[in-house]
Amino acid sequence: MSVVIVGSANVDQVFRVASIPAPGETVLSHGFATALGGKGQNQAVAAARAGAAASFIAALGDDAFGASVREGLRADGIAASVRTVDAPTGTALIAVDDSGENTIIVEAGANALLELTPDDEAAIASADVLVLQLEIPLATVARAARAARAAGTRVLLNAAPIRELPAELLADVDILVVNETEGAFLARSGDVADLAPVVIVTLGAAGAVAQERGAADVRVPAPTVTAVDATGAGDTFCGALAARIAEGAGLDECLRFAVAAASLSVQEHGAVPSIPSRSRIDAWLAASAG
Ligand code: RIB
């Protein structure tokens, strides 16, 4: 039941606005908050809160933001293999509008200097599932995936933010999670289902669909909820999914669990602050089944 996450850690600067400003426009915010975030950290917290023994490999600066990330990881019981590098901790500037939609600008900072050590590769090799995203160097993502593949650790790649991926990296991926835009970009004119043995496309308010080679598609609709902030919902989905995959649950069950976790997260503000615990997800699933 162990999940290793290799990825980014940011501190998010979140502005709440009536509507996302258009180019050249200035708008006044009606709320501001600082929250822990970064796709890697969000996924690590989501996996840990969903019940996995989670460890997180990341790079931070020697600064106050780095200290708050370390403190947050401790609070969530996440085993951190976090190195301090010569760059500021990653930050993100996020505008969230009144419908819960966002735009995000990431300054990678320390995340751009994340490299793997032989100890990291050993940790990856002894885990059940490796989770990766794309806010760190592609060479680090590829090296982690290769180490996992060699050891039989399952590789879950969340291809966000959108970027080109080398075929050799995709060949090491067992489960690819994309949104519709990322899927269309990576598949080009081909079929997104051909990109990995299991491809999961997240559909926002419509839920998610999983396409596994040789099996029927699994589609899980999302419940109707009042969304206040979609920031980190995709990361919550991936971390919760990885936790259930590590437990050996079937794809259908994993998908239902991940959709429930993401649906809970959009009802709260912030990335890490909105990630639900295992008991909340289980209670939500039980209530929807009844
Ligand atoms: O996916 C949401 C995350 O994207 C935010 O927490 C922000 O830090 C960026 O990495």
Provide the token pair at 239: 């971390």
Its pTM surpasses 0.85:
yes
Q: Sheet containing 90-96: which strands, arranged edge to edge?
A: 31-37, 10-16, 90-96, 102-107
pLDDT in the model for residue 290: 66
Q: List, in sequence order, every beta strand (DSSP E) within 97-235.
A: 102-107, 129-132, 154-158, 175-179, 198-202, 208-212, 218-220
- The phi, psi pair for 33, rounded to 5°, reads -150, 150
- The phi, psi pair for 56, rounded to 5°, reads -130, 125
Q: Is the CB of 102 under 6 A from ligand 1?
A: no
Tell me the per-residue pLDDT of 54-106, one tens digit each, with 9 for 90 and over.
Answer: 999 999 999 999 999 999 999 999 999 999 999 999 999 999 999 999 999 99
- Close Cβ partners of 77 (under 8 Å, ≥ 6 residues apart): 48, 54
Q: Is the CB of 39 under 6 A from ligand 1?
A: yes
If one residue of 10, 107, 268 were mutated to test the ligand 1 pocket, choosing by the most ligand atoms within 8 A of its CB, it would be 10
Q: Is the CB of 111 under 6 A from ligand 1?
A: no
What SS3 class is residue 240?
A: helix
- Average pLDDT score over the chain: 97
What SS3 class is residue 37?
A: strand
Ligand 1 center from residue 203 Cα (angstroms): 18
Q: Catalogue the active-site residues.
A: 235
Residue 57 falls in which region: left (phi positive, over 0), alpha (psi -120 to 50) or beta: beta
Peptide bond into 161 cis (omega under 30): yes
Tell me the per-residue pLDDT of 254-277, one tens digit each, with 9 for 90 and over.
Answer: 999 999 999 999 999 999 999 999
236: pLDDT strictly greater than 90: yes
Tell me the per-residue pLDDT of 134-153, one tens digit each, with 9 for 90 and over.
Answer: 999 999 999 999 999 999 99
pLDDT in the model for residue 48: 98
Decide if domain 2-10+37-90+111-289 falls under CATH 3.40.50.2300.
Answer: no
